[in-house]
């Protein structure tokens, strides 16, 4: 056998890096979504938080707090945050269509929240969460800790409630950072 053919044969015997990462993603996602207990006392509040963030609604409500409470520049703050979150939702959905990844299969387990009809990768809840955290946190530093805790719970809930894989959430977090960091650095509320 020629020496030049040996590496190709060896490489074909091992799964590709993509397949190995995909298998790791499925194992990690199953550990959260299937192996952890799912008592109603946990699934109901996590489901409520998760559903409240559909289409950015949670972030729009949080952005409205300064406006509704009569805060200085409240309307401007709302437009600044809600605009960034809405743009992130649109961009994320375009990327979802490009990747066209299916949601986790729901065979043999209870459906904990309605399965979204959109594609799975990247998680728009995660991307909007990062952008919302960055935008609101840049204006209200005292909110940062609470907002990052909210984003963490929201991201965990998406895998725990069986509507995303771990890499969907990680991809959404990275996309949110890629969109949110330049936004808060370049666009300022006056």
Query: What are φ and ψ of residue 4, in 5° steps?
Result: -70, -20
107, pLDDT greater than 70: no
Flag whether 30 is in a domain.
no
4, pLDDT greater than 50: no
Flag whether 162 is in a domain.
yes
Flag whether 89 is in a domain.
yes
Flag whether 5 is in a domain.
no
Mean pLDDT on 158-164: 91
Flag whether 44 is in a domain.
no
Q: Give the whole-angstrom CA distance, residue 179 versus residue 49.
A: 23
Kindly state the percentage of the chain with pLDDT values over 90.
61
Residue 157: which of 41, 40, 25, 43 has the closest Cα? 43
CA distances (Å), origin 130, targets 117, 147, 170: 22, 9, 11
**Residue 178: CB atoms within 10 Å:** 14
Flag whether 18 is in a domain.
no
1, pLDDT greater than 80: no
Q: Give the whole-angstrom CA distance, residue 28 versus residue 62.
A: 31
Handedness of CA 112, 117, 118, 120 (dihedral sign): positive
Q: Give the whole-angstrom CA distance, residue 187 versus residue 145.
A: 22
* pLDDT band of 16, cuts 50, 70, 90: confident
Q: Could you tell me the residue range of the domain that residue 190 belongs to? A: 56-102+111-190
Q: Give the whole-angstrom CA distance, residue 183 versus residue 133.
A: 12
Residue-level pLDDT at 117: 83
Give exposure, 70-82, as e/b (b: 16+ Cβ within 10 Å).
eeeebeebbebbb
> Helix or strand or coil: residue 81?
helix
Whether the ω angle into residue 122 lies within 30 degrees of 0, i.e. cis, is yes
Domain count, the chain: 1
């Amino acid at each position: 056998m020629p020496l030049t053919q040996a590496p190709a044969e060896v490489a074909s015997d091992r799964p590709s890096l993509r397949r190995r990462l995909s298998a790791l993603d499925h194992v990690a996602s199953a550990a959260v979504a299937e192996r952890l207990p799912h008592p109603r006392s946990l699934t109901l509040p996590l489901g409520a938080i998760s559903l409240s963030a559909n289409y950015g609604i949670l972030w729009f409500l949080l952005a409205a707090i300064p406006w509704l409470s009569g805060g200085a520049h409240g309307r401007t703050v709302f437009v600044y945050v809600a605009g960034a979150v809405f743009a992130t939702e649109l961009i994320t959905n375009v990327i979802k269509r490009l990747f066209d990844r299916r949601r986790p299969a729901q065979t043999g387990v209870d459906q904990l929240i309605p399965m979204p009809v959109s594609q799975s990768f990247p998680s728009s809840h995660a991307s909007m969460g990062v952008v919302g955290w960055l935008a609101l946190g840049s204006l209200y530093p005292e909110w940062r800790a609470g907002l990052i805790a909210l984003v963490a719970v929201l991201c965990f809930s998406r895998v725990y409630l069986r509507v995303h894989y771990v890499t969907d959430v990680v991809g959404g977090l990275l996309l949110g950072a890629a969109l949110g960091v330049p936004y808060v650095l370049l666009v300022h509320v006056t």
